[in-house]
Amino acid sequence: MKQLTLIGFMGSGKSTTGQMLSKELGIPLLELDQMIEEETKMSIPDIFDLKGEAYFRELEHIVLIKSLNSRGVIATGGGILTNSKNVEQLKSTRNVIYLKGKDSTLIERIKNDSVNKRPLADTSTELEITKRLENRVNQYEEVADIIIEIENKSISEITLEIMNQLEEMKE
Ligand X SMILES: Nc1ncnc2c1ncn2[C@@H]1O[C@H](COP(=O)(O)OP(=O)(O)OP(=O)(O)O)[C@@H](O)[C@H]1O
Ligand Y SMILES: O=C(O)C1=C[C@@H](O)[C@@H](O)[C@H](O)C1
Q: How many other CB atoms sit within 10 Å of the CB of residue 139?
A: 18
SS3 call for 34: helix
Q: Binding residue for Mg ion (CB under 5 A) from 3, 5, 12, 15?
A: 15
Q: Binding residue for ligand X (CB under 6 A) from 53, 113, 145, 161?
A: 113
Q: CB under 5 to 8 A by kind: which of ligand Y, ligand X, Mg ion, none does 25 bind?
A: none
SS3 call for 93: coil
Q: CB under 5 to 8 A by kind: which of Mg ion, ligand X, ligand Y, none does 153 bind?
A: ligand X
- Residues lying near ligand Y in the complex (CB under 6 A) are found at 10, 33, 44, 77-79, 118-120
User: Please, what is the minimum distance in Å from the beta carbon of residue 59 to Mg ion?
Assistant: 15
H or E segment at 36? helix 32-40
Q: CB under 5 to 8 A by kind: which of Mg ion, ligand Y, ligand X, none does 44 bind?
A: ligand Y
Q: CB under 5 to 8 A by kind: which of ligand Y, ligand X, Mg ion, none does 158 bind?
A: ligand X
- Is 137 a binding residue for ligand X by CB under 6 A? The answer is no
94 assigned to a ligand binding site: no
Q: Kindly state the DSSP code that residue 145 receives in the 8-state scheme.
A: S
Can you say whether the dihedral through the CA atoms of 6, 150, 155, 95 is positive or negative?
A: negative
Specify the pairing of strand 146-149 against strand 29-31. unpaired
* Dist. CA 102–CA 70, nearest whole Å: 31
Helices 84-91 and 126-143 meet at what angle, rounded to 10? 40
Site for ligand X, rule CB under 6 A: 8, 10-16, 33, 75, 77-78, 109, 113, 116, 118, 150, 153-155, 158
Binding-site sequence positions for ATP? 11-16, 118
Binding-site sequence positions? 11-16, 33, 57, 78, 118, 136
